[in-house]
Amino acid sequence: MKSLHNSVLMKEVLKVLAVKPSDTVVDATLGGAGHFKELLSQLGEGGVIVGVDADSSAVERGREAYANDRRTDRPVAHLVNDNFRNLARILERLGIGQVDAILFDLGWSGYQIASPRGFSFSAGGGPASGGQDQPLLMTYGESGETAADIVNISSESELADIIFTYGEEHFARSIARSIVKARAKERILTTGALVSAVYDGTPKRYHEGKIHPATKTFQALRIAVNDEIGALREGLSAALDALAPNGRLAIISFHSIEDRIVKNILRDAAQSGTGSLLTKKPITPSRSEILANRRARSAKLRVFQHAAPVLVGQIDSKISISSYA
């Protein structure tokens, strides 16, 4: 059976993090658990791996990967259902004072895209999609503000700002106008209804491009619903604080907004003397990887190495599965 998710830049991540058997490692974005599984295999007795994800199904995939590791000298594992923005609190509760390697893969896994939560227009209805319509949620769980809430409650100017700021969509104003017009007739509650509104708000020539006309609008709403930018800033700050001497932080981003934030935060950390940026230019997938996995085409990997000493914490449990609110 073909996997719904292929982790990107796998060889490159393993090479730059250079994990040793006794290291403490954090996978801050479990997702499909591909990176987690490979990082786990690099560790041995005395090592510790922490897997974090706000999506409980991703945590379950991490648990399965750990359960399938039958080695007698496998490392300690902690699997935590929480947002990586709370990384400092997570490590504190686990008694971990410093970390040797941290990975953030900011892409959405194939499992999330395939889930009936409205993350993808290609999995839903609307023009040119060919899929089944989905509820317009874009959330990890059952609670909290949804994309439908934003689409149906926000003013036209607020919608335009969200779509332009988080989607870098040139037709943000006309799309917002079209959404407001459509919801006046009937609330926009599905992916198909939103796609239709985007089509109506964009010129026909825009519908023939390589990028689906709804791509940037869906990205913008997903970022807004989950406060991805705020979470990224807080998560990276906590990660930099947690790194051990010579510890490495690797971040894979998939769009220019994320990459710009990552680049600026790592640059500022390097200029402050915290450590050094090991990638003057981001590492990108090989042509062969892109051909094998189209989702990898926009991936960029940046790596930072810490220089400041911190204290080592001790872990004595074999595995714990926690959920932090």
Cα 8 to chain center, whole Å? 12
Looking at residue 116, what is its pLDDT?
60
Confidence of residue 125 (pLDDT cuts 50, 70, 90): very low
Q: At what angle do helices 34-42 and 56-67 cross, to 10 degrees?
A: 40
Give, as one character, the DSSP assignment of residue 77: E
Q: What is the distance between the alpha carbons of residues 285 and 11, in angstroms, rounded to a whole number?
A: 10
Confidence of residue 144 (pLDDT cuts 50, 70, 90): confident
Asked if the model's pLDDT at residue 323 lies above 60, the reply is no
Averaged pLDDT of the chain = 89
pLDDT tens-digit map of 293-322: 888 999 999 999 999 554 444 334 444 555
Dihedral sign, CA of 5, 166, 141, 154? negative
Helix (H) or strand (E) holding 275: strand 275-277
What's the whole-number mean pLDDT along residues 194-215?
A: 91
Domains and CATH numbers, the chain: 10-110+229-323 (3.40.50.150), 115-226 (1.10.150.170)
287: left (phi over 0), alpha (psi -120 to 50) or beta: alpha
R_g of the chain computed on alpha carbons: 20
Q: Is the pTM of this model over 0.85?
A: yes
Q: Which of 162, 195, 165, 164 is nearest to 179 (CA)?
A: 195
Q: CB within 8 A of 65, min separation 6: which ones?
A: 33, 36, 37, 40
Q: What is the distance between the alpha carbons of residues 141 and 132, in angstroms, rounded to a whole number?
A: 21
Q: CB within 8 A of 28, min separation 6: which ones?
A: 52, 84, 87, 102, 103, 104, 235, 239
Alpha helices for the chain (secondary structure H): 10-17, 34-42, 56-67, 87-94, 110-114, 147-153, 156-167, 172-185, 191-200, 215-226, 228-242, 256-271, 287-292
CB atoms within 10 A of CB 33: 26
